Amino acid sequence: MLQIRSMQDDDWPEIWAVLEPTFRRGDTYAFRQDITQNEAHHYWVELPAATYVAQDGGPVLGTYYIKPNQPGAGSHVCNCGYVVAEAARGQGIASAMCQHSQEQARALGFRAMQYNLVVASNTGAVRLWRRHGFEIVGTLPGAFKHPQLGYVDAHVMYKHLIDS
Amino acid sequence: MLQIRSMQDDDWPEIWAVLEPTFRRGDTYAFRQDITQNEAHHYWVELPAATYVAQDGGPVLGTYYIKPNQPGAGSHVCNCGYVVAEAARGQGIASAMCQHSQEQARALGFRAMQYNLVVASNTGAVRLWRRHGFEIVGTLPGAFKHPQLGYVDAHVMYKHLIDS
């Protein structure tokens, strides 16, 4: 059974093993394709408020972070990033992490969640976030340079987590 | 005559004198209202690709920065922030800086400019950016906590800088 829990320091090698192929591919996240492990640790573990891992009795299959999307007057809106191991796609892990992240975000006091740059060609992700109640509130024309497709649009997606 | 130029290290005290009242007021930027001078220097000078000042033969009247809005595959889109000294409002300084920033951004190789969080209650800014060709590509409901108005909407605004 899939379990999602807060990461511990010694999870990092397995987290990096999940992240690295996705970042190297460069078609979903706006990290440099040649990002170093230290830089990735900074973005994924040090900057965020919390980082989680998903496991099913074995190695880490997925990971996500939560952080305030802006400081100060924007800090009640959080941002999350999710990555699933390539060999574990199609098993509902991203969906389970999305659900888990909304619960954790509420527990951390966030009022809304925002994804800043959902690559339009990543149709599976767009569909999944919509199914979880996220709306496309805006589309940034040509804002993402896809390694195969060139400049593609990216969506800003947003969901209220509490009744205002 | 208003001149806009790259900042030099010894401009910082005058830049901070322009920024501080705006950040303390907390109704336009998502910085903590109690941001320290060192933190402001980090955000306004160290993180950006470039920082500029506007003067008219005297002290600094306005300042802005340019930085990539995202790393990697999003780094062809820049973000700018502008602040005008309270005593120098209404003289076209923000407009002149916006125009200047677009030229500088093109010279730095950026293809588009994005404002991530234009507070909807800041109607003067929204009107000004629209006049400069920026479009509201999305509106984030309640994404900004205004010190007097409570949770207000914020716009994502975007402009192509070059013909694609």
Three-state secondary structure along A31-77? CCCCCCHHHHHHHHHHCCCEEEEEECCCCEEEEEEEEECCCHHHCCE
HSE toward the beta carbon, residue B30, CA cutoff 13 A: 23
Q: Is A31 on the interface with B (CB under 8 A)?
A: yes
Res B139 pLDDT > 90: yes
Tokens describing residue A118: 């959902």
Mutation target to probe the B interface, by most B beta carbons within 10 A, among A34, A145, A149, A153 is: A145
Mean pLDDT, rounded, of chain A: 97
Question: Which among A116, A151, A164 has CB closest to B151?
Answer: A164
Contacts of A74 in chain B (CB under 8 A): 30, 117, 143-145, 154
Q: Is A71 on the interface with B (CB under 8 A)?
A: yes
Convert the pLDDT of each residue in A31-90 to its tens digit: 999 999 999 999 999 999 999 999 999 999 999 999 999 999 999 999 999 999 999 999
Nearest residue on chain B to A113, judged by CA atoms?
B143
**A63 — phi, psi (to 5°)?**
-150, 150
- How are the residues of chain B apportioned to helix, strand and coil, as percentages rounded to the nearest 5? 35, 35, 30
Question: Which among B33, B140, B160 has CB closest to A158?
Answer: B140
Per-residue pLDDT, averaged over B84-102, amounts to 97
CA-CA distance, B142 to A137, in Å (whole number)? 13
Provide the shortest C-alpha distance from residue A96 to chain B (in Å).
Answer: 25
ipTM: 0.94
Q: Is A3 on the interface with B (CB under 8 A)?
A: no
Question: Which among A114, A116, A138 has CB closest to B137?
Answer: A138
Closest CA to A128 of A51, A11, A28: A28
Q: What is the pLDDT of residue A163?
A: 75
Res B163 pLDDT > 90: no
Provide the shortest C-alpha distance from residue A123 to chain B (in Å).
Answer: 18
- The CA R_g of chain A, rounded to the nearest whole Å, is 15
Q: Which amino acid is at A95?
A: S
As a whole-number percent, the residues of chain A with pLDDT over 90 amount to 98
Q: What is the pLDDT of residue B164?
A: 57
Per-residue pLDDT, averaged over A82-100, amounts to 97
Q: What is the pTM of this model?
A: 0.95
